[in-house]
Structure 1
Amino acid sequence: MASIIFGELLPKRLALAHSEAIASRLARPIQAVARGLGPIVQLLSGTTNTLAALFGVKESTETIPVSDEELRYLLEQGKRAGVFSSTEQGMVERVLRLDELRVEELMTPSVKIVWINADEEAEVTWRALVAGGHSHFPVYQGSRENVVGVVSVKALWANTAAGLPAKPADLATPALIIPETIPALRALEQLQKAKQRVALVSDEFGSITGILSLLDLLEAIVGDLPSHEDRQRARVVKREDGSWLVDATLPVEDFAKEIGKGADHYQLDGDYQTLGGFIVHHLARVPHEGDAFLYRGHRYEVVDMDRHRLDKILVTPQKG
């Protein structure tokens, strides 16, 4: 009993309570003892290995890997000890989950992708870019099965500002295409290796089913995103005068519900899905701040542009 208490339990308890102080004081003495006893330890280890070999037991040189479950346990213990915060623990756990998530769970589906036709006129292209509200767009020629590449709005805008040609097909970079079934962690590795910010996602037949960006992967690590209802409330602000200040990226179906209208209120024809897209479609050009028009009992006014991108829209009900 005394051996267990004084030789096992008490030293461990003291070491845990004063780990840094004890380690700093005993480091040099233990190092000296280890060097002095090194030859004896090697002799005993060699003898043990030789005897074990006689019984067919070989010395293992493999390092035992640490499992995800063990890492999660260590994180939990670290949080309890105050080493990690809850936020840090959550982020590390979500990094571990990247190998369990599939690309198809994080990607933007094909129905929400805004495609750029390489053969379209510049005005039509800019209308699509403004309506889309994204940073990168896939470019096709002829049909969407013939992908030219991916173009960034930044590159188009830089060339336009410098007075240089800004044809999407010329500025598009080769598209990285990844399967929708691979783990998200592997997708991240492929994006890093290719030095790309986005990748097109394909199914087993080679058809494009979505697009995945580094932002999608970052959001999977940083934490849970707000729910659809939370995002809608944040993107629609009803003012005291009865008007609405609306984010241009809000889907038109959501805003139709907000104003008590049916899904067919905006006569969707497949060219747009967001309120910003509706504005661009109605104006038939790139909008400017102050642009306004009436539509089915409401006045729509562009109140904020983020450079070339439509940002905020003021919708005011009309009496009568």
Structure 2
Amino acid sequence: MDEISTSSLFITLGILILISAFFSSSETGMMSINPYRLRHLVKKNHSAARRVHKLLDRPDRLIGVILIGNNLVNIMASAIATIIGMRLYGDAGIAIATGVLTLIILLFAEVTPKTLAAMYPEKIAFPASLLLKVLLKLMYPAVWLVNVVSNAMLAVFRINPTKRASAHLSSDELRTVVHEAGTMIPRRHQNMLLSILDLEKVTVEDIMVPRSEIIGIDINDDWKKIVKQLTQGQHTMLLLYRDSIDDAVGFVHARDALRLLSRNQFNKSTLARAARELYFIPEATPLNVQLLKFQRNRERIGLVVDEYGDIQGLVTLEDILEEIVGDFTTTDAPSPSEEVHPQQDGSYVVEGGANIREVNKEMGWHFPTDGPKTLNGLILEYMEEIPNEGISLRLAGYPIEILEVKDNMVKSARVMPSLYSPPVQ
């Protein structure tokens, strides 16, 4: 070392620091790269992405070659810095070289390159993978030895380094990804994607048409009334029953009725025979499951039954699709905006039959949805009796005033969200 000039040692030290910066940045870049974008690029046959993906398949080997190279370079830099320090400052140069080299490595070989790599992982990892692939082949014996020892130590804790942690995202993580997509995904598409993820949390009971609102045809009614319902009704599929919905016969499609009419065979008996077989759905079925069942069974409409087999309502394929894409223009059901009426004082008059879940979604409120489905049901459950008009209460943090009570149910109530305070947990 005595015959090597100090200037040559400085140049060598600078080169070693640059090499150390390369190893530090490549480590951070390889570990920070987006795995989903990487897989996408691999499917598009991107050569650099395929190379990085192959290196990341064995992270123990990748980390081994990076750390061996980085530590070897840093040790050499430390030795050279010590020699330079002793030449310039004697014995005190050892301490000076240690302090100065530590600062230089932190700034130029650790913090700066790693920060840059974390911000632009692809720009660092893709070109670095070329050299890392070559170094892995050249240093494979040393890397293999280090991996054997480190893997043996990991085996004590029953960790297999060849098995990577699952990269699958949970539903909540997918929601976060969609929310953070920003302008990359239009807002309407984001809402649709989130609605699809929420299907598993919603049951057919939450979206069904209640039993009291089912529009059907009583086969025992006057024939003229039946014809009027078929010809003037706004639904293409109607429930056919005898006296009561509990004695349901089947579903009648308007197309089948028109076919009978064209053949001059349109009467009660032929109408009953033309009715399609009933399809029953348990009320606790999640929407994502029911959507698949509709598809598998080639059905579009079904009667919702409770645990005792009693008919509670009706649900259609369109009802589920509306949960994803929003209301269709052909729907006859009132939207939350038609059941929630804003007032000048900042309060809202809400009809008792308004669906709590839909109102929460549109208004951004937080009424509980794990019990009754309507505002009337929520109030009755809370009060445990039918309240009188003028009664005020605080429900889920919202001040509510009962405005109208009729037919043993709350017809309308005033909600004051401006005075909302979350319930104490």
| Normalised-by-shorter TM-score class | 0.5 to 0.7
- Residue 307 of structure 2 corresponds to which residue in structure 1? 204
1:195 corresponds, among 277, 293, 298, to 298
**Are residue 68 (structure 1) and residue 174 (structure 2) matched?**
no
CA contact (8 A) 1:202 1:210 kept: yes
Identify the structure with the greater helix proportion. 2
Change (3 A) 1:170 1:45: farther
**C-alpha distance in structure 2 between counterparts of 1:43 and 1:118, whole Å:** 84
Alignment of 1:1-320 (within 5 A): 1-15=107-121, 22=123, 26=127, 29=130, 48-57=150-159, 63=166, 65-79=168-182, 82-118=183-219, 123-141=224-242, 143-161=244-262, 167-223=270-326, 227=335, 230=338
**What TM-score results when the alignment is normalised by the length of structure 1?**
0.56
Structure 2, unpaired ranges of 5+: 1-106, 329-333, 341-425
* Cα RMSD, aligned residues only: 4.0
CA contact (8 A) 2:302 2:315 kept: yes
Which letter maps to 2:335?
A: S
- Select the structure with the greater relative contact order (CA < 8 A; seq sep ≥ 6): 1
Matched position secondary structure for 1:200: strand
**Per-residue displacement from partner, 1:109-162 (whole Å, max 9, x unpaired)?**
111212234566764432222454212122235753333322222333345346
Change (3 A) 1:83 1:5: same
Matched position secondary structure for 1:185: helix
- Residue 381 of structure 2 corresponds to which residue in structure 1? none
Identify the structure with the greater strand proportion. 1
Which letter maps to 2:203?
A: R
Query: Which one has the largest radius of gyration?
Result: 2
Which letter maps to 1:5?
A: V
Aligned residues: 226
**C-alpha distance in structure 2 between counterparts of 1:50 and 1:200, whole Å:** 61
Matched position secondary structure for 2:312: strand
Change (3 A) 1:38 1:133: farther
CA contact (8 A) 2:240 2:275 kept: yes
Q: What is the CA-CA distance between 1:55 and the residue it aligns to?
A: 4.0
Give the % identical residues: 25
CA contact (8 A) 1:177 1:200 kept: yes
**C-alpha distance in structure 1 between counterparts of 2:308 and 2:140, whole Å:** 64
CA contact (8 A) 1:90 1:223 kept: no
CA contact (8 A) 2:117 2:124 kept: no
**Per-residue displacement from partner, 1:46-89 (whole Å, max 9, x unpaired)?**
6654443344445657635422222122112211xx21111111
